[in-house]
Amino acid sequence: MTEKKKQKSQPSPLSKVPWKRRSKDEMELIVGQIQSGSISIWGACKKHGLNRNTLKLWMTRLRVGSLTDKTLTTVSSSKEDDKKALELKQQIRQLEKALEYANLKILGLETMIKVTEEDLQIKIKKKPGTKRSKE
């Protein structure tokens, strides 16, 4: 029987410490290379001394992380929009109440003038086009 010797590949400098924690920037760089198609998953594992499952976990985490970042920004912006809309609605209600109060006050004053002119026979309203008196 002939024995075939398996060739051992030269480990990369990074694979000498496979338990080393990678920074998020390193993870993003490696996953970015895979997603751009410049290197395969197997090639990245061999080059960086990683387990294939670890690399796939990183890919999932980064994909989910980017989705949550997008949803958080849309949710926070929609919350801010809702808050601003609520404040504007409250301001509109306050202005409507102030307008209603002003209209009631005007109606009350006009009624007082009308009653005074009828009962006391005093002309309070000026006729249009009259000039100011010189006093």
End-to-end Cα distance, the chain: 135
Q: How far apart are CA 6 and CA 25, in angstroms?
A: 35
78 within a domain of the structure (yes/no) = yes
Tokens of 89: 């609605």
Q: Is residue 1 part of a domain?
A: no
Specify if 37 maps to a domain. yes
Report yes or no on 6 lying in a domain. Answer: no
DSSP tag of 125:
S
pLDDT in tens, 26-37: 878 888 888 888
Angle between helices 41-48 and 52-120 (to 10 degrees): 110
How many domains does the chain contain in total? 1
Contact 122, 116 (CB under 8 A): yes
Structure confidence by residue, pLDDT tens digits, 111-121: 998 998 888 88
Query: What would the pLDDT profile of 39-78 be if each residue is shown by its tens digit?
Result: 888 888 888 888 888 888 888 888 777 666 666 666 666 7
Threshold 0.75, pTM exceeds: no
Give the pLDDT score at 33. Answer: 87
Q: Which domain holds residue 28?
A: 13-120
Whether the CA torsion 115, 119, 120, 124 is positive or negative: it is positive
